[in-house]
Amino acid sequence: DVHPNRFSDEIDNLIDQGYYGLNVTVPLKELAYKKADRLSDVSKATKAVNTLVFKNGQIFGTNTDPVGFESSLSKNIIENRIKNKKCLVLGAGGSARAIIYALHKMSGKISVYNRTEEKAATLKKEMKINIEILSATEINKQLEEFSFIVNTTSAGLASGQQNDLVDFRNATKNCFVYDLIYKPKETGFMKQAQANGLTTQNGLNMLIGQAAASFYIWHGVSPEVSVDLIQTLASD
């Protein structure tokens, strides 16, 4: 648990102590991006780093969130809900950038909504990906056109909290709804989608997938993901 103002110094301390690398989470991913001496292509595209490696006197930064997200999805969802289909991303922060990068790689047609439209415009400019930026009004006018919706914001974080953004009554019945939040395992956002007959998924498998990818970067070994572990984490 590191205060952002202390981030750079703490990284230097860990290097001095002989650490080889570490994971970084919100709100430190942009700071890790700036701290790195060398960056992977995915980090350059997303302007965020969640995995650091200290080697040969340099700090290497990459971002395993996109591959974690993609690995959390079934082939059926990728082929029938994302590939060449309209996808809606809620939010324009570091997590949204990772999701947009992954959706673009999976040939999704991407629309983005963020409460601050300027932030979404900056994201589009920096990522150089063909993105449609929507207003809150436009979301529900076009909602039936989307076959995949992913929430990267805190909307509906609490289990009983209602989102005031997406009226799932207007969504097509084969729309797949994904929420990056994994605690609680069913957010208010997900429950509202389920109440309208939509299939949902939380971000737990993405969390595990990005961690496994980071482990491979550090150790050159792909860990086996235990179904029992996932079930245990999901019940916490």
Catalytic residue ranges:
29
Helical axes 94-105 vs 117-127, angle rounded to 10°: 50
Distances (CA, A) of 160 to 40, 91, 156, 184, 193: 39, 21, 8, 10, 13
Record the tokens describing residue 172, joined without a space. Answer: 């097509």
Write out the E strands in 40-169.
Answer: 51-55, 58-62, 86-90, 109-113, 131-133, 148-151
Rounded to whole angstroms, how far apart are CA atoms 67 and 214? Answer: 10
Indicate the Cα dihedral angle 72, 77, 79, 85, nearest 10°: -110
Structure tokens at 9: 């110094």
State the DSSP H helix or E strand holding residue 199, giving kind and residue range, or none if neither.
strand 199-201
In total, the chain counts a number of residues equal to 236
